[in-house]
Amino acid sequence: MQKPQQYRHKEIKKNSKRNKKRIKTPKTTIKMPNDYKVSVRLKKDLIRGLGKHSHHRAAVKMLPTFVRATPDGTEKGDYLALDLGGTNFRVLYVRVVEEQQKVVKMDSKICSIPQEMMLGTGEQLFDHIAQCLGEFLESQDLKGQTLPLGFTFSFPCEQKEIDKSILIRWTKGFSCSGVEGQDVVKLLKEAIHRRGDYDIGSVAMVNDTVGTMMSCGYRDQSCEIGMIIGTGTNACYMEEIKNVKRVEGEDGRMCINTEWGGFGDDGSLKDILTEFDEVVDQTSINPGVHTFEKMISGMYLGEIVRLLLVKMAEDKLLFKGETSEALLTPGQFETKYISEIEDGLENAQKILTALGLNWDPVDACVVRLVCDTISSRSARLCAAALATISNRIRVNRGLDHLKTTVGVDGTVYRKHPNFSEELQAAVRLLAPKCDITFLVSEDGSGKGAAMVTAVAQRIWLPGCMLSFIFLPIFVYI
């Protein structure tokens, strides 16, 4: 990738800003990573993940999704959608209305997933999902119908067919036994059959990034990238099939779930990891896994800030050298505090008081600066990754200039006061030849999953075969 002149110029400016942002403690310096270097490394990893023989050792998995087209606006019908990817599980009843080119949520239900269940057995988890779905169908008087179902399962899966999806590994605090290496659709169907009081129609498995891209694609047909920056982080995009070496075929495009959260798992980001990142990783339930995600996403940002504050207090740079029980407790500094603190000093003061800390006005300002450093790092890492993908799409198509749309979702992106601005500004510098529109998804994990199912149904209608989206021609290796 050629380093644009404009970028070099801005980089010098940014570096001087960054230098100011460095937070020095006697033994530690946190500095902003070199976004450009990160982008160049990811570019190589994307190619490795797509390769037939390099895929198995690639940190960035680049998983084929078999989604070969975005919506064309003729989709219609009633669908169920399930959404599992965080601490809540959702069931939705969705109607896709062709005339209005709209996806309408008829009703939905949220079931919480208790911590014990996230770490329990797969059977318990899927029984809970089946129960929640059963109660919802009962309440909607839908138990007698067998509606097609879109299942947003936001974990890395090797998709064999649209309704066959093998979990590679759990992320985001889940670790249910007996699910890794298994077909998730089979586990869901088995749980439903164990109950025996209702059934479901055909199932389409969807990653949340794909749902996000598809739900935005209904509004803007140039949406070819889906990105999530929430509890976890990830992106998908439309890749040329000829480059997806594990799938047969030369023509057309296929959506690839990058699973960029795994970037760095082979040690490629070692030089930009701080001691705080290392502690977060070591104390997580999946050490060594999803390195990039642990520097970026909502599940981890609060904990990085907490560890930094503890260190600074211990080094007598904050709170008169004192800590508090809450500050010393893992998980007590929530990621939402970062947004709140950056939103205003008054919030910072309230939060520090609630954490039982003996703060003065300078402490509050320093804490705010720490939050800003960590959230900026996250935004710029995401920007580097997104710029890599956009540049790749542009070069793939032999274009001098690419105009494209990214469908985005996730609490970090939506809720943080300046995360989206910072990310967009950094992408503009790193991908100056890409003109990117950011579209916040309207419930990609729910409505998007229904949309994927609707498009899947459309392509099986007689006469529509040529506009296929799902074609299970996976080359098993």
Q: Determine the Cα–Cα distance for residues 232 and 52; give it in Å rounded to an integer.
A: 27
Helix or strand (DSSP H, E) at 210: helix 208-219
Q: Residues 205, 234: contact at Cβ < 8 Å?
A: no
Based on the residue annotation, tell me whether 266 is a catalytic residue of this protein.
Answer: no
Q: Name, in order, each residue with C-beta under 8 angstroms of 4's C-beta and a sequence gap of 6 or more.
A: 432
Q: Determine the Cα–Cα distance for residues 471 and 473; give it in Å rounded to an integer.
A: 6
Q: Which is nearer to ligand BGC, 293 or 363 (CB)?
A: 293
Q: Which of 14, 45, 83, 172 is catalytic?
A: 172
Report the interhelical angle of 335-343 vs 298-314 (nearest 10°).
70
Q: Which is nearer to ligand BGC, 127 or 208 (CB)?
A: 208
Determine phi and psi for 358, rounding to 5 degrees.
-90, 85
Report which residue's Cβ sits closest to ligand BGC: 232
Based on the residue annotation, tell me whether 172 is a catalytic residue of this protein.
Answer: yes
Q: Determine the Cα–Cα distance for residues 209 and 257; give it in Å rounded to an integer.
A: 7
CB of 349 to ligand BGC, least distance (A): 33
Q: Which is nearer to ligand BGC, 207 or 457 (CB)?
A: 207
Which chain residues interact with ligand BGC by CB under 6 A? 85, 154-156, 171-172, 207-209, 228, 230, 232-234, 259, 261, 293
Q: Determine the Cα–Cα distance for residues 431 and 416; give it in Å rounded to an integer.
A: 23
Q: Which is nearer to ligand BGC, 233 or 376 (CB)?
A: 233
Q: Determine the Cα–Cα distance for residues 313 and 191; give it in Å rounded to an integer.
A: 50
Instruction: Tell me whether strands 23-24 and 29-30 are parallel, antiparallel or unpaired.
Output: antiparallel
Q: Give how far Cα 463 sits from Cα of 77, 332, 467, 470, 471, Å.
A: 18, 57, 9, 15, 16
Q: Which is nearer to ligand BGC, 85 or 148 (CB)?
A: 85
CB of 463 to ligand BGC, least distance (A): 34
DSSP 3-state of 280: helix
Q: Which is nearer to ligand BGC, 228 or 430 (CB)?
A: 228
Beta bridge pairs of residue 404: 436
Q: Which of 45, 208, 281, 443 is catalytic?
A: 208
Instruction: State the catalytic residues.
Output: 172, 208
